[in-house]
């Protein structure tokens, strides 16, 4: 059967001497695997549309198993996400989350639209950490593991302060903290953002200024939910963490110079 479907390339793997196997996240057919013959060759008509993160219209034939790409038209190449190392790391993480965290029947139009909006946000210069944190929440929601953040999951109390129990699946009020000694403390700002992430569609994300400490709390909470409930081992996440450490080390001398300057005033 011949298919004509909009999709985003979330994985591109070399196959044989000149071919690539593409994994697409599509708007109507979930995740789809297709062979792009000759796509490794620079002059191939499929070489551009087979690039990671490319959003396009794909025409392919499939009876069972992998399809075969007949034609494709690029709608948005997202070339900036491939050219910038930091953006490539964040985009790769978002793409691998879709590939590894979701079953085919979970990868519907909603998450397709969220990934497209995530890539657009990264390409437009929105804070990459916040953008990917919001996308992580959309993945948790789709997979059925999003935290309950509005009431205490133990007693239903709506009053703060709260901690977040990953094991229990959401917030615990002060009276219930003892039920989980490993519950994570969160500031009011971090909790407010997590609640916003539960309600906010990626397509409505604007520019948000978030402190370094709040970002650390968001990362700790969301990573803990993934590690506890989904147990993923993502190469892109390991690389992203390595890149973060390198950037922090590079920024350290600048922070020291600023400190010396401030002390000398």
Residue 260 lies in a domain: no
Surface-to-core class of residue 43, CB atoms within 10 Å of its CB (0-12 exposed, 13-18 middle, 19+ buried):
exposed
pLDDT band at 265 (very low <50, low <70, confident <90, very high): very low
Nearest CA among 97, 105, 90 for reference residue 138: 97
- In this structure, are 109 and 136 located in the same domain? yes
Are 13 and 108 in a shared domain?
no
Q: Are 39 and 20 in contact (CB under 8 A)?
A: yes
CB 122 within 8 A of CB 91: yes
Same domain? 48 vs 139: no
Domain count, the chain: 2
What pLDDT does 243 receive? 87
Residues 59 and 154 in one domain: no
Average pLDDT over residues 13-17: 92
What is the DSSP secondary structure assignment for residue 148, as one 8-state letter?
A: B
The CATH number assigned to the domain holding 194 equals 1.20.1440.120
Is residue 173 domain-resident? yes
pLDDT at 254 over 90: no
What CATH number did the domain enclosing 16 receive?
A: 2.40.50.140
Asked whether residue 121 falls in the same domain as residue 37, the answer is no
What per-residue confidence (pLDDT) applies to 64?
Answer: 81
pLDDT of residue 262: 58
Contact status, residue 197 vs residue 133, Cβ threshold 8 Å: yes
Task: Find the domain containing 221 and state its range.
Answer: 81-254
User: Does any domain span residue 154?
Assistant: yes
- Could you tell me if 140 and 194 lie in one domain? yes
- Does the residue 64 lie in any domain? yes
Q: Is residue 39 part of a domain?
A: yes
What's the pLDDT at 253? 63
Range from 35-39, 123-127, 152-156, 239-243 carrying the lowest mean pLDDT: 239-243
For residue 172, is it within any domain? yes
Residues 67 and 90 placed together within one structural domain of the fold = no
Place of tokens 């944190």: 133
Question: Of 206, 187, 203, which Cα lies nearest the Cα of 195?
Answer: 187
Confidence of residue 10 (pLDDT cuts 50, 70, 90): very high
Higher pLDDT, 116 or 63: 116
Same domain for 87 and 48, yes or no, is no
Query: Does residue 56 sit in the same domain as residue 41?
Result: yes
Average pLDDT estimate for 125-154: 96
51, 54, 58, 63: CA torsion to nearest 10 = 60
Can you give the pTM of this predicted structure?
Answer: 0.90
The answer to whether position 209 is within a domain reads yes
CA distances in angstroms from 206 to 26, 202, 247, listed in the order given: 25, 9, 25
In this structure, are 126 and 150 located in the same domain?
Answer: yes
**Whether residues 95 and 63 fall in one domain:** no
What are residue 35's DSSP bridge partners? 21, 68
- Whether residues 149 and 250 share a domain: the answer is yes
Looking at 15-19, 30-34, 220-224, 245-249, which range is the least confident one?
A: 245-249
* pLDDT score of 156: 95
Tell me: pLDDT of 39 over 60. yes
Residue ending a domain, among 51, 79, 107, is 79
Choose one of 52, 79, 106: the last residue of a domain.
79
Out of 57, 79, 101, a domain closes at: 79
């Amino acid at each position: 059967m011949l298919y004509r479907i909009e999709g985003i390339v979330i994985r591109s793997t070399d196959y044989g001497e000149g071919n690539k196997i593409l994994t697409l996240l599509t708007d109507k057919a979930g995740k789809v695997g297709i062979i792009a013959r000759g796509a490794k060759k620079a002059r191939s008509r499929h070489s551009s549309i087979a690039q990671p993160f490319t959003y396009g219209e794909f025409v392919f034939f499939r009876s069972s198993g992998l399809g075969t790409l007949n034609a494709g038209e690029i709608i948005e190449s997202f070339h900036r996400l491939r050219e910038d190392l930091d953006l490539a790391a964040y985009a790769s993480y978002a793409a691998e989350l879709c590939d590894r965290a979701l079953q085919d029947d979970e990868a519907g139009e909603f998450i397709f639209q969220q990934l497209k909006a995530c890539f657009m946000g990264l390409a437009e210069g929105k804070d990459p950490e916040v953008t990917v944190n919001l996308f992580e929440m959309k993945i948790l929601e789709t997979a059925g593991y999003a935290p309950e953040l509005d009431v205490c999951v133990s007693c239903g109390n709506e009053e703060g302060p709260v901690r977040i129990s990953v094991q229990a699946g959401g917030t615990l009020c002060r009276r219930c903290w003892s039920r989980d000694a490993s519950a994570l403390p969160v500031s009011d700002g971090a909790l407010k953002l997590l609640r916003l992430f539960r309600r906010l569609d990626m397509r409505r994300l604007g520019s948000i200024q978030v402190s370094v400490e709040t970002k650390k709390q968001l990362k700790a909470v969301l990573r803990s939910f993934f590690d506890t409930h989904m147990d993923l081992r993502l190469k892109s996440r390991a690389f992203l963490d390595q890149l973060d450490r390198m950037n922090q080390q590079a920024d350290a001398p600048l922070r020291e110079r600023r400190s010396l300057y401030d002390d000398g005033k």
